[in-house]
Structure 1
């Protein structure tokens, strides 16, 4: 079954509520601090990039095509924001991976009363820092391999008009993979099985990833979207994806 995209998007909203629970707040502090620091840098970089991009476009086009700048400018803004904020979101997850895994563990405990069979806790999170870092790099390599065909679409005339929307769908998929990996990784589920489970409920996954992507470009919301996405992804694992292996 492809799943329901509305249910997927709603999981992010549920995640915002979960991270406010008294028992989870202390597990949110470190991911939240990392996200605020990196998104602050991302916002500064995005405006710098847009300014440089504007100068490049105006210098590249001949004078008689100046009107085309106004037509393409919204597409450039959307593309730049998606590339920058998505990139900084992945960087934030790379740094915060062990803490996100611990947060997913505590959310699952809150929702079900149980967690992964091997226990967990801060000691386990720190002990698994290097394996989790390697796993994050594996996801980045996967993203890079699939990004190239999508990015090439931006330079193909006519097709480049659809490129931002295709990139939007790809980014939503990658963010769904990124965040559901935390609860699934706590149960020893590998990246291949993770992708299989998400593909079997593709619309559910894209709905969740799309909501996370939207949250990354909304001011203030993007500062807290990472821990909320971890919590929401854990709720989806408990209620949807865990049943894919049964």
Structure 2
């Protein structure tokens, strides 16, 4: 029994530490308001783009649902069914927006968030021996890795979207699994900067995050749920970047292991 309990306790403790890293990031930007404002610029640009996309999806969700369910044309309750499908489509679009928002914002604000992340590490005792790479090479690598991560996200979210139509399971189990999957991949995106600074590639980053699932999920799930609230993603983005740097230093690649 202890062989089962101890790993569970470790993961639970890691989860709480991951949550703690998110709050530490929030505390850091609260103590450094100039850096918080600095990090808001790309977050606001990305928010405007996503706001237009979500407004369009919200006003056309019914048309998309009708296009996606031609088999329901002869159903007596097709309007109710398509309304539910439209709601699910919008919710799925919102969840996908939350997942990709961090990646797009990081791509737009690469120089901003690189400086912010470096400042956090300086305050925590110094930077690791950074791996130098030209800006455009770093940007293209970031875009490539984000697209690969998005592919993994879709592998999970598409089946979960389909399961969302199943009574009871779709309203209970699926949202929980969706938050877990989304939280993990949100952590993947946010920790990319401090891990790349250490010369750790995409495959190695995934391995580190899987090895610290508790902390990874504690950090990512909390932020994912917070990002679901309108405008919160914009306000919290600088704190999320700061928290990711703290998560890497404390749990994923402590200084003594670098």
Instruction: Identify whether the pair has TM-score above 0.5, normalized to the shorter chain.
Output: yes
Deviation at 1:144, TM superposition (A): 3.4
Q: What aligned pairs does 1:161-176 form with structure 2 within 5 A after superposition?
A: 161=170, 165-176=176-187
Indicate how the Cα distance of structure 1 residues 148 and 177 shifts in structure 2: closer, same or farther if over 3 A, else same.
closer
Alignment correspondent of 2:138: 132
Question: RMSD in angstroms over aligned alpha carbons?
Answer: 2.9
Mapping of residues 32-51 of structure 1, within 5 Å = 32-51=40-59
Over 3 Å counting, the alpha-carbon distance change for 1:244 and 1:53 in structure 2 is farther
Deviations 1:69-101 (A, max 9, x none): 565565444312112233333211111123212
1:10 matches 2:23:
no
Q: Write the mapping of 1:1-246 to structure 2, written as runs, cut at 5 A.
A: 2=11, 4-22=14-32, 25-57=33-65, 60=69, 61=72, 62-69=75-82, 75-112=88-125, 114-118=126-130, 128-153=134-159, 154-155=161-162, 158=166, 161=170, 165-243=176-254, 246=257
Q: Which runs of 5+ in 2 are unaligned?
A: 1-9
> Equivalents in 1 of 2:256, 2:144: separation in Å?
23
In 2, the alpha carbon distance for the partners of 1:105 and 1:89 equals: 18
Structure 1 runs not aligned, ≥5 long:
none
Give, in angstroms, the shift of residue 147 of structure 1: 3.4
- Aligned equivalents of 1:197, 1:151: Cα separation in 2: 22
Residues in 2 aligned to 1:244 and 1:174: alpha-carbon distance in whole angstroms: 24
Aligned residues: 237
Which deviations, in whole Å up to 9, do the C-alpha atoms of 1:158-183 show, x marking residues without a partner? Answer: 49936655443332121101111212
Q: TM-score, length-normalised on structure 2?
A: 0.78
Which has the higher mean CA deviation after the structures are superposed, 160-169 or 82-91?
160-169
Verify the 8 A CA contact 1:101 1:186 in the aligned structure 2: no
> Does structure 2 conserve the Cα–Cα contact (< 8 Å) formed by 1:105 and 1:186?
no
In 2, distance between residues paired with 1:177 and 1:183?
A: 11
**Superposed displacement of residue 244, structure 1:** 9.7
Name the CA distance, whole Å, in 2 between partners of 1:228 and 1:139.
22
**Could you tell me how far apart the structure 1 residues matched to 2:154 and 2:99 are?**
15
